[in-house]
Amino acid sequence: MSTQEEALKAVHAALERERRINLHQHPIEMQFENDDLVLAGEVGNIAAKKLALELAAAAPGVGGIVDRLRVVPAERMGDGAILDHVRDALLQEPELSICDIRVWEKGHEETIRETTVELACVIQISVADGVVTLDGQVDSWGRKRMAGALAWWVPGTRDVVNALEILPPEEDSDDEVTNAIQFLLEKDPFVNESQIRVTTRNYVVTLEGEVAKEKEKEMAEADAWFVFGVDKVVNRLQVQA
pLDDT bucket at 231, cuts 50 / 70 / 90: confident
Rounded to whole angstroms, the Cα distance separating 102 from 109 reads 7
SS3 143: helix
| Domain 3-71 belongs in CATH node 3.30.1340 | yes
Question: Is residue 162 over pLDDT 90?
Answer: yes
- Residue 112 DSSP class: E
What digits encode the pLDDT tens for the residues 37-84? 999 999 999 999 999 999 999 988 888 999 999 999 999 999 999 999
By mean pLDDT, which of 63-67, 141-145, 177-181 is the weakest?
63-67
CATH class held by domain 174-239: alpha beta
What is the gyration radius of the CA atoms in the chain, in angstroms? 19
DSSP 14-73: HHHH-TT--TTTS--EEEEETTEEEEEEEESSHHHHHHHHHHHHTSTT--EEEEEEEEPP
**CATH 3.30.1340.30-classified regions of the chain:** 174-239
Question: Is residue 1 over pLDDT 70?
Answer: no
Q: What is the largest CA-CA distance in the chain?
A: 62
Rounded to whole angstroms, the Cα distance separating 90 from 100 reads 10
